[in-house]
A = this chain, B = another copy of it.
Amino acid sequence: MERVYNFSAGPSMLPFAVLKQAQEEFVCYGDSGMSVMEMSHRSQVFEKILEKAKSDLRTLMHIPENYHILFLQGGGSTQFAMVPLNLMSKNKKADYIITGQWAKKAAEEASRYGEVHIVASSADTNFDRIPEFSASDLSLDADYVYITLNNTIYGTRWHALPDTGDIPLVGDMSSSILSEEIDITKFGLLFAGAQKNLGPAGVTVVIVRDDLLGNAMDFTPTMLRYDIHAKNNSLYNTPPTYGIYFMGRVFEWLLAQGGVAQIQKRNEEKAALLYDFLDHSKLFRGTVVAKDRSLMNVPFVLPTEELNQEFLALAKENGLVNLKGHRTVGGMRASIYNAMPKEGVAALVALMQRFEQTHQ
């Protein structure tokens, strides 16, 4: 069976070279005589894998030593609770900026534990942009300010981070982590589910500043306390060992590609291929305002639902799969994470061109 170009929003394409490497060492890892899946998480060989993954991520994202790197479980949805449970510690109040369904869900979960102030929302234009707001819209007494850096469903992205002064900025970077350089020191906490740019579903990366630990609400389940995991180096309980190993191989691959700056350059080229075509097309139309476009998720529509369906079917025939857009946006969405080769995007654009020519 030939591999397809998989435009899924997540879980999504993984680097082919890493898949091949993981396949080769699947049954026997190095000289351990066993699969990584079979290793005790307390063994030296696994602890080496864990430390290497942490240290490579620290290098890739330029993470200072006063930030802990945690490998947890439960995905972004668990972070929606962990963030307020651990960080709504002083005034039980937080600012949320609503740029899509996931930010909304995060705000809803937080509102169960304290006061949530919605600073701004782009719901009224179906989240086709990052909403405007001024610094004075932020609460002075918020325990943190929460944003979603890249909005998987709607295809928007924060190009500049809000200035929150001394108030910790919390970011959900699930769909853009390691796709572009960011200044981690602007954040108090950043998290990402693995299943888009990092590895298999089931690992959540949390990067949290040291001074934010230790103030969890009384009733916080032990497993949802950041300080417990930080103190135990993500080994409080059995972590998702294979996912951590695979992610580590992805980090090594990224370093070999030249790191995040190089990957960002490639991602910009890939996205430009699509956006340039959309900007000149008479048939296809991007759904996001130009200044807020995502590098990772590119939604676009055709003039009728019939044409959308026809294009999706044609794409599938041509080995370009999972292009169907989210039901709240409709049409198509091309998720072009780090692992999507430029050839995949070029093949998609070529097909769009052909489709446009035959439908003039």
Residues of B within 8 A of A221 (CB): 78, 81-82, 85, 109, 221, 224
Q: CB-CB < 8 A to A238: which residues of B?
A: 10-11, 75, 193, 195, 201
Complex CA distance for A359 and B85, rounded to whole angstroms: 58
A346 at the interface (CB under 8 A from B): no
- Say whether, besides A14-B37, A238-B75, A219 and B28 are in contact (CB < 8 Å): no
Q: Residue on B with the closest CB to A246?
A: B37
Tell me if A35 and B10 are in contact (CB < 8 A): no
> How many copies of this kind of chain does the complex include?
2
A222 within 8 Å of B (CB atoms) = yes
Contacts of A30 in B (CB 8 A): 1
A234 to chain B, nearest CB (A): 12
Closest to A245 in B: B200
In this assembly, does A243 line the interface, its C-beta being within 8 Å of a C-beta of chain B?
A: yes
Which residues of B sit under 8 angstroms from A40, Cβ to Cβ? 8-12, 322
On whether the beta carbons of B8 and A39 are closer than 8 Å, the reply is yes
Closest to A76 in B: B237
**A302 nearest CB across to chain B (Å):** 22
**Can you name 17 extra interface pairs (CB under 8 A) apart from A8-B40, A23-B26, A242-B243?**
A3-B34, A4-B32, A4-B34, A6-B33, A8-B43, A14-B38, A33-B319, A73-B75, A74-B223, A75-B237, A76-B237, A77-B223, A77-B236, A78-B221, A85-B221, A201-B239, A201-B241
> Measuring CB to CB, which residues of chain A are less than 8 angstroms from any residue of chain B?
1-4, 6, 8-14, 16, 19-20, 22-23, 26-28, 30-35, 37-41, 43, 73-78, 80-82, 85, 109, 112-113, 193, 195, 199-203, 219, 221-224, 236-243, 246, 319, 321-322
Q: List 21 A-B contacts (CB under 8 A).
A: A6-B33, A11-B37, A13-B38, A14-B35, A14-B37, A19-B27, A19-B37, A23-B27, A40-B322, A73-B75, A74-B78, A78-B221, A78-B223, A109-B221, A109-B222, A112-B219, A195-B241, A201-B238, A202-B203, A202-B240, A240-B243
